[in-house]
Amino acid sequence: MIRTEILKAEDLDRALARTREVLLSGGLVAFPTETVYGLGGNALDASASRKIYAAKGRPSDNPLIVHVGSVEDVKPLVREIPEKAKALMDAFWPGPLTIILPKSGLVPMETTGGLQTVALRMPSHPFANAMLRNCGCPVAAPSANRSGRPSTTRFSHVLEDLQGRVDLIIDAGDVPIGVESTIIDLTGEAPTLLRPGKITIEELASVIGPVLTDPAILSENIIAHKELVSRPKAPGMKYRHYAPRAEMWIVSGETEDVAETVNELADERTGILTVDEHQDLYRCGKILSVGSLRSPMSIAHNLFACLRDFDTMGVTRIYSEDFSEADIGTAIMNRLLKAAGGNEVQAEELLKRTSETDR
């Protein structure tokens, strides 16, 4: 355990000065970005990167994103900046877009998980932006959660996961977006989307032309990790990320059918993830509204926090409604499916299967 100092982002001068000191002396700082909180260390310091993996409990072959304060800062970190990368930086930076490029010799292998490529991002959160312009080094930062758990979008959740494991935590309250940055890989033959986020594939394509989608992030493939005929008790832990402790199922179908099925199966230790418009349809269990259907951004904003709230409530199973995959919905469903380990089921199928198990 190390002593963790906590400073408010509003106490800007002090927070920036301490952040700089900690980073340049090889320490770790949890800081807010517009997407989720990050767990930062000096990206050029191999031992800082090793500390990040240790603090997170993350396998060291999973590369870190390197955060910068300007496009100028990217130059020494990469072999070259291709035209398409320049165009994307112009269009979306600062903002929730991570771009993967071939790395230069300056970036240690520890930071890139042994890869010859580096993920780069220039965040727009005012604290992150000021920090990166002031701290004197690029900052390697994964999401500020213990490995496998939902990313942190509230200060209290950062504290829960990282107090005693990092030198400094910057408290900026809730972060605005709530799901991690869009990731595009520009190192292959064609630009490829590796993770959906607030910036959509259509927006990327409008700037650089066609963008492929990595098959690993297609919903049907996440679902296929699970044998669809397996019983609800199947743990499927292997494929879980962003995961609450309880087993989780996404229940699809007409809203009334979903509510009816869930009402039949739920008890007081069941978590139900719904939206403002549907809350009243549920009768029992721990019912959380993640946001409003009229504002998909509100759903992204609250998603990880709700998953963590279910943990605090000690629920043993979570049923979630499914959501539209339009715009930010692609990112929402990607995180939700991962959190559920690919467990998605039609309402009537769930009912049938559960009654078979019970017999």
User: By the criterion CB under 5 A, which residues form the site for Mg ion?
Assistant: 143
Whether 195 and 216 have beta carbons less than 8 Å apart is answered as: no
Whether 288 and 273 have beta carbons less than 8 Å apart is answered as: yes
CB of 144 to Mg ion, least distance (A): 9
CB of 117 to ligand TXA, least distance (A): 4
CA distance 283 to 205: 44
Task: Give the footprint of ligand TXA on this chain (CB under 6 A).
Answer: 33, 35-36, 38, 62-65, 98, 100, 112, 115, 117-119, 121, 141-143, 180-181, 183, 194
Cβ distance to ligand TXA smaller for residue 184 or 345: 184
Q: Two tokens at 76?
A: 């020494």
Cβ distance to ligand TXA smaller for residue 194 or 293: 194
CB of 235 to Mg ion, least distance (A): 21
CA distance 65 to 54: 16
Cβ distance to Mg ion smaller for residue 175 or 262: 175
CB of 143 to ligand TXA, least distance (A): 4
65, interface contact from Mg ion, ligand TXA, none, CB < 5-8 Å by kind: ligand TXA
- Supply the angle between the helices 201-208 and 83-92 in degrees, to the nearest 10: 130
- Supply the angle between the helices 255-265 and 347-358 in degrees, to the nearest 10: 20
CB of 100 to Mg ion, least distance (A): 15
Cβ distance to ligand TXA smaller for residue 331 or 350: 331
CA distance 18 to 108: 24
Cβ distance to ligand TXA smaller for residue 38 or 271: 38
CB of 116 to ligand TXA, least distance (A): 8
183, interface contact from Mg ion, ligand TXA, none, CB < 5-8 Å by kind: ligand TXA
Cβ distance to Mg ion smaller for residue 143 or 334: 143
What DSSP letter does each residue of 286-316 carry, written as one string? Answer: EEEE---TT-HHHHHHHHHHHHHHHHHHT-S
Q: To which H or E segment does residue 5 belong?
A: strand 5-8
Q: How many residues does the chain have?
A: 359
